[in-house]
């Protein structure tokens, strides 16, 4: 056949096997093989990277959950009651100590509960003396001014709670509540004792003044000594009777008064017999 490819026929005549009739040359086959290898490698790498990313994400999530659990545990173990409210005066988070402090229901005091609802609930359980609505307005007014406020609350069951409201930048606030009953009672006891001491002091001053007036009303010289023979009180008449004696002051012993008088010529009869004179006066005293 004219124009036909006789290469396979010639090869058979020559006793050699005929080469296959390829649709493209060997270089194209190599390129195709490299492409398949690259796709395979890329797929394996993608699966490998995806596996690593998924594993890392799971580990990160596990760490975050663990951290959240630790924070929740720490938050609930704070001795003070802590409650955070947002800019709309709704509870964001509240620890167990806050709920237990006022005997509140966790079904009411939870995220989303509003400040008025919280205060009304406190009034319902009998641990709020103030009007809930007015108390809420007072709190919100101070928060709007950015003021940190401190409150000493006395509950109906006789406990004292120290509360502090801390405004937060961007709105909302954190409130901390601490039972200070024992401390407050100790303070009240000290204040009561101080008031009683002041009252007793005032009464003593009145008594002393009246006694002084009684001493001055006596026309003779009058003097009062304590158990150790020291001067406590005397009237003006007594002091005038011994003008030369210079140590007639509170706390001076009677013997020292005598010796001072002798030294200053108060007792002429004692001259030359000072010891005997002092002994006689002490015996008579």
- Report if residue 1 sits inside a domain: no
- Report if residue 101 sits inside a domain: yes
Q: Which of 281, 226, 235 is nearest to 257 (CA)?
A: 281
Are residues 163 and 82 in contact, defined by beta-carbon separation less than 8 angstroms?
no
Within this chain, do residues 167 and 258 fall inside the same structural domain, yes or no?
no
- Report if residue 245 sits inside a domain: yes
Within this chain, do residues 174 and 82 fall inside the same structural domain, yes or no?
yes
- Report if residue 67 sits inside a domain: no
Within this chain, do residues 184 and 242 fall inside the same structural domain, yes or no?
no
- Report if residue 47 sits inside a domain: no
Give pLDDT tens digits for 148-175.
Answer: 999 898 888 889 999 999 999 889 999 9
- Domain carrying residue 201: 180-217
State the pLDDT at residue 62.
55
Are residues 150 and 164 in contact, defined by beta-carbon separation less than 8 angstroms?
yes
User: What does pLDDT average to over the chain?
Assistant: 82
Low-confidence ranges of the chain (pLDDT < 50): 1-14, 16, 18-19, 22, 24
- Report if residue 154 sits inside a domain: yes
Give pLDDT tens digits for 125-144.
Answer: 888 888 999 999 999 999 99
State the pLDDT at residue 106.
93
What total number of domains does the chain contain? 3
- Report if residue 196 sits inside a domain: yes
Within this chain, do residues 205 and 152 fall inside the same structural domain, yes or no?
no
Which residues are bridge partners to 160 per DSSP? 154
State the pLDDT at residue 79.
79
Question: 132: how many CB neighbours lie within 10 A of its CB?
Answer: 18
- Report if residue 124 sits inside a domain: yes
Within this chain, do residues 156 and 210 fall inside the same structural domain, yes or no?
no
Within this chain, do residues 82 and 167 fall inside the same structural domain, yes or no?
yes
Within this chain, do residues 167 and 197 fall inside the same structural domain, yes or no?
no
CATH of the domain at 127: 3.30.450.20
State the pLDDT at residue 166.
94
State the pLDDT at residue 43.
66
Are residues 251 and 231 in contact, defined by beta-carbon separation less than 8 angstroms?
yes
State the pLDDT at residue 239.
92
Q: In this structure, is the dihedral angle defined by the CA atoms of residues 259, 262, 267 and 270, taken in order, positive or negative?
A: positive
């Amino acid at each position: 056949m004219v124009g036909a490819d006789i290469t396979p026929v010639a090869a058979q005549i020559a006793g050699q096997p005929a080469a296959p009739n390829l649709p493209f040359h060997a270089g194209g086959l190599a390129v195709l093989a490299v492409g398949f290898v690259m796709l395979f490698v890329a797929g394996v790498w993608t699966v490998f990277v995806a596996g690593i990313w998924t594993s890392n994400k799971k580990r990160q999530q596990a760490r975050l959950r663990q951290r959240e659990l630790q924070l929740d545990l720490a938050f609930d173990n704070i001795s003070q009651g802590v409650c955070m409210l947002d800019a709309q005066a709704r509870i964001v988070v509240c620890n167990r100590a806050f709920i237990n402090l006022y005997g509140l229901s966790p079904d009411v005091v939870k995220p989303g509960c509003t400040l008025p609802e919280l205060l009304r609930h406190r009034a319902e359980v009998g641990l709020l003396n103030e009007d809930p609505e007015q108390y809420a307005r007072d709190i919100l007014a101070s928060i709007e001014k950015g003021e940190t406020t401190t409150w000493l609350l006395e509950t109906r069951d006789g406990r004292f709670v120290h509360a502090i409201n801390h405004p937060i930048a961007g709105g909302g606030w954190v409130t901390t509540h601490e039972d200070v009953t024992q401390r407050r009672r100790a303070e009240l006891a000290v204040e009561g004792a101080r008031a009683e001491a002041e009252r007793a002091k005032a009464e003593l001053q009145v008594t002393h003044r009246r006694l002084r007036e009684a001493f001055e009303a006596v026309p003779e010289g009058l003097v009062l000594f304590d158990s150790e023979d020291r001067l406590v009180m005397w009237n003006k008449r007594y002091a005038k009777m011994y003008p030369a004696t210079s140590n007639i002051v509170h706390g001076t012993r009677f013997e020292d008064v005598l010796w001072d008088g002798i030294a200053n010529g108060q007792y002429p009869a004692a001259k030359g017999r000072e010891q005997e004179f002092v002994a006689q006066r002490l015996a008579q005293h």
